[in-house]
Amino acid sequence: MSKLRFDGQVAIITGAGGKAPSLGRAHALFLASRGAKIVVNDLGTGPDGRGVLRANAEEVVEQIRQAGGEAVADTNSVADPDGAAAVVKTAIDAFGAVHILVNNAGLAHLTTFDALSESDIRKMTDVHLLGPIWMCRAAWPHMQRQSYGRIVNVGSSAMFGSADASVYGAAKAGVYTLSKGLAAQGVPHDIKVNTLLPRAGTLAITHLQAPSQITDAIMRQPVEHLPPVVALLAHRDCPCTGKGLEAGGGRVVEIALAATAGYQADTIDLEDLAARWTDVVDRTDIRIIPDMANDIRITPKSYIPA
């Protein structure tokens, strides 16, 4: 198979100015090495959102240029519409187009729900959920006019529930659903949108999470395993849209929603439902929900079998 390249393509990567090991930085360097022109976006506060681990977009740009690539830095915030529009304007002004958007920017305050401050909650939802929304809104008209675009939204397995990441996980679950909706809308325009749930040992992991068997296992998964996955999802030959893919440690798997055969009755009776609860949660005849369920009337029986 010939080498997959991005010559002539312009990629915006948010949150790409972090200190190594950093996923955004790794994605920027990899795509640049394959010929893409990169907008390295980073506000500079780092993954804790408080500036303890400073990020530097210019530093990553210089590394790309020294390797013979093309890149510009952008320090606008993705957390509001004006900032997102400014990021896209940086790409248009510097390179004349935007073909690829990787919504990687993020911060985390990992603690129990009752211990989170209102400010922490707003910061996480602004960056992790509204950030991708504003960035996609800013880039979408350009992609639609050129009848081409690739968007990779970065999610997290925290969307499945974690005691110390309830709000963070909720925002990431929203990103997963955002990708599916935009994927459906993008089909006529060759705009493909997917979600990546990464697992890798980054500087943020060591700073934000206490040592444990789980964090130790994550830290053994190199960030270098992730950029090829992002690159495939960002490539002209991307084989999918509306998918959720978890990747890390050399493994890539699809994450999908499913429904059981469930409980069915003409009228739901409280006591009967309680007595037959095992039918509701019986996974024997489980079905995978379609990637893009455009019809809200869809029934479990019409789901595509796993």
Q: State how far the Cα of 6 lies from the Cα of 250, in Å rounded to an integer.
A: 23
305 confidence band (pLDDT: 50, 70, 90): very low
Q: Is the per-residue pLDDT at 233 higher than 60? A: yes
DSSP code at position 226: S
Chain centroid to Cα 15, Å, comes to 12
Q: Is the per-residue pLDDT at 197 higher than 50? A: yes
Tokens 């079905």 sit at which residue? 287
52 confidence band (pLDDT: 50, 70, 90): low
Q: State how far the Cα of 227 lies from the Cα of 28, in Å rounded to an integer.
A: 8
Q: Tell me the helix, strand and coil percentages in the chain, rounded to 5.
A: 45, 15, 40
CA Rg, the chain, in Å? Answer: 20
If we measure between CA atoms, which residue out of 189, 195, 163, 160 comes closest to residue 177? 195
Beta-carbon contacts of residue 141 (< 8 Å; ≥ 6 apart) = none
Instruction: Give the pLDDT confidence score for residue 20 in this predicted structure.
Output: 76
Regarding pTM above 0.75, the answer is yes
pLDDT in tens, 250-282: 999 999 999 999 999 999 999 999 999 999 999
Q: State how far the Cα of 272 lies from the Cα of 284, in Å rounded to an integer.
A: 21
Question: Of the residues 148, 168, 263, 303, which is catalytic?
Answer: 168
pLDDT in tens, 62-93: 999 999 999 999 999 999 999 999 999 999 99
* Run of H or E including 280: helix 277-281
Question: What are the structural domains, with CATH classification, of the chain?
Answer: 10-255 (3.40.50.720), 258-305 (no CATH)
Name the packing angle between helices 166-186 and 131-145 (round to 10°). Answer: 10
Q: Any catalytic annotation for residue 176?
A: no
Q: State how far the Cα of 19 lies from the Cα of 21, in Å rounded to an integer.
A: 6
Least confident of 7-11, 90-94, 119-123: 119-123
What is the average pLDDT value for the chain, to the nearest integer? 88
Q: Percent of the chain beyond pLDDT 90?
A: 73
Instruction: Give the pLDDT confidence score for residue 164 in this predicted structure.
Output: 85
Instruction: Give the pLDDT confidence score for residue 290 in this predicted structure.
Output: 83
Task: Kindly state the tokens that stand for 282.
Answer: 């019986």
